[in-house]
Chain A
Amino acid sequence: MILDCDLLVGRDVTTSARLSPADLATTMAEAGIDGGAVGSLRALSFDPPSGNDEAHAAAPTCGARTVAGVDLRDPLGAEREIDRQRDAGVRIVRLAPARQGVPASAPGLRACARRATRAGMLLLVEGDVRLYGPPLAGLDAAVVFVDLHFYQLGDFVVLGRDEPGFHASTRLLGNPDGWETVLAELGAQRLVFGARTGWFEARSVLTRLDVAGLDADARELVTARNLLRLIGEDR
């Protein structure tokens, strides 16, 4: 089973590309992705409540869990939306400070991360880990950095030593030893399969998986169980 923690539907205003839940499901099936966690670009770009309703509707189509998006440009609204999604049973929140032009120093970023963490929610965090990792430290937060590029991996490892809840997504770890470095330095429990299927060339990440040399246990952790553990669904 392969779960993609980094699924999105909607329209990307920066590229004008669109991806419907049905098209995402088709692309996932073609790539061999069985499910994962899906959020809404509408929620991240324009209107979290209606966008998150869209994510809820998309989740069954994609065989995925719902990811709630919030808008950090409106921290008070983001807090309300976290509470609303918590009450609806959502276990994952996506924070997109880079996409929303919110600096790492913005108090609302840490406040929302704390609120979601206290609600037992997993955070999917976009942007440069060197900028957005430090303000999330010390909260006992469970985080997957979905834009972690191998250029920044050393800093992620340094940060992750003191933050057992910090996890790396596989998507941009396309160098020869990125996956292996996470496993060697932090353990297989800290790497979560993410490909942003439909928006990124998932086949590239899957080909990297093929040559990662993971044993069966590590492969199972990376491709599914780590995500399930982080949202309280691991067996």
Chain B
Amino acid sequence: MIVDVHGHVGPWFFSAADASAADNIRRMDAHGIDIQLVSAVEAVVYDPVSGNRRLADEIRTEPRLKGLAVVDPRELDVAAAELPGLLATGQFVGAKIHTDYARSPGGSPAMADALRLLARYGLPVLVHTWGEEIVGLAENVAAIPDARVIAAHMGGPDWRLAPEAAAVTDRLWFEPCYSVAEPGRVRWVLDRIGAERMLFGSDSTLIDPAVTLGAVRAAGLSADEERLVMWQNATTLFTLPAPRE
């Protein structure tokens, strides 16, 4: 079983392809991915209100796609107003924050406020991390007792900071997708943080799942690591159904 905790439903601004939930499913089937957690591209790059609502419509008939509601830390009043309605659809299992588009670094006070709000709803949060902000994000998570956060991209080019961030709090997990995949990165981080702290994510449909699947396969996961990284950490964190025996 494979659970992909980092997906998007398009379209992307630089490509006309892969624009609907059906396209996500097609890429999932090509790679054996069972469940994908998705946020709306529209919500990330333009407007969380219209994007999250559109996503709810888009995935209503696709039970293999679970929603991540995009929250902009600069508009928490908007998020607070929208979240009850979105959660009532039963299609959202977590939240997503993009630190760059929302101009809210991982260690910022605005991020702390957003994580506090989402913790009140019991929502795990996938947070885009790029560079040294991954450590600041960890410090924010540590200071908010019920926050549970996944560091998307493991800091991107600064992935070597992942162990330092992991040491700050045990409520921060790590997701390794990165279009510029340096060799040995997944194994290096895994050996330092443990398989309980990493979850598979692809960033599909921005990036084909082939990129991160290839990187994870190159890490040569043991059977236990495979189970934890590829699905069990995700089903536990997001309370998703485990595979049938």
Contact = CB atoms under 8 A, between A and B. Distances in A.
- A, B bound: yes
Interface of A: 15, 27, 149-151, 153-154, 172, 174-177, 180-181, 198-208, 210-211
A174 B211 contact: yes
Given A208-B208, A211-B208, A201 B215 contact: yes
Nearest to A19: B183
15 contacts: A150-B14, A174-B181, A175-B208, A176-B23, A176-B204, A180-B17, A200-B182, A201-B181, A203-B215, A203-B217, A204-B181, A204-B213, A204-B214, A205-B214, A207-B210
B64 interface: no
B205 A176 contact: yes
Contact of A174 (B14, B31, B210, B218): B210
B: contact size bracket: 20 to 34
A199 B182 CA distance: 6
Interface centre among A154, A201, A206, A208 (most CB of B within 10 A): A201
A210 B182 contact: no
A203 B208 CA distance: 13
A204 B211 contact: yes
Given A200-B181, A203-B218, 11 more contacts: A15-B182, A149-B179, A154-B15, A174-B208, A174-B211, A176-B18, A176-B207, A177-B17, A204-B218, A207-B211, A207-B213
B161 interface: no
Contacts of A201: 181-185, 211, 214-215, 218
B60 interface: no
B180 interface: yes
Interface of B: 14-15, 17-18, 23, 27, 30-31, 179-185, 204-208, 210-215, 217-218
Contacts of A172: 179-180
The 3 A-B pairs at the shortest CB distance, nearest first, are namely A204-B214, A207-B214, A201-B181
Contact of A176 (B14, B185, B208): B208
Contacts of A211: 30-31, 208, 210
A224 to B, nearest CB: 20
B214 to A, nearest CB: 3
Contacts, number: 85
Tell me whether chain A's interface is mostly helix, strand or loop, or mixed.
Answer: helix
A61 B104 CA distance: 49
Contact of A208 (B14, B183, B214): B214
A168 to B, nearest CB: 15
Contacts of B214: 201, 203-208
A198 B207 contact: no
A203 B206 CA distance: 19
Nearest to B212: A204
Contacts of B210: 174, 204, 207-208, 210-211
A175 B31 CA distance: 14
Contacts of A27: 183
Contacts of B179: 149-150, 172, 174-175
A150 B205 CA distance: 12
Contacts of A175: 15, 179, 205-208
A154 B208 CA distance: 17
Contacts of A210: 210
Nearest to A199: B183
Nearest to B23: A176
A151 to B, nearest CB: 6
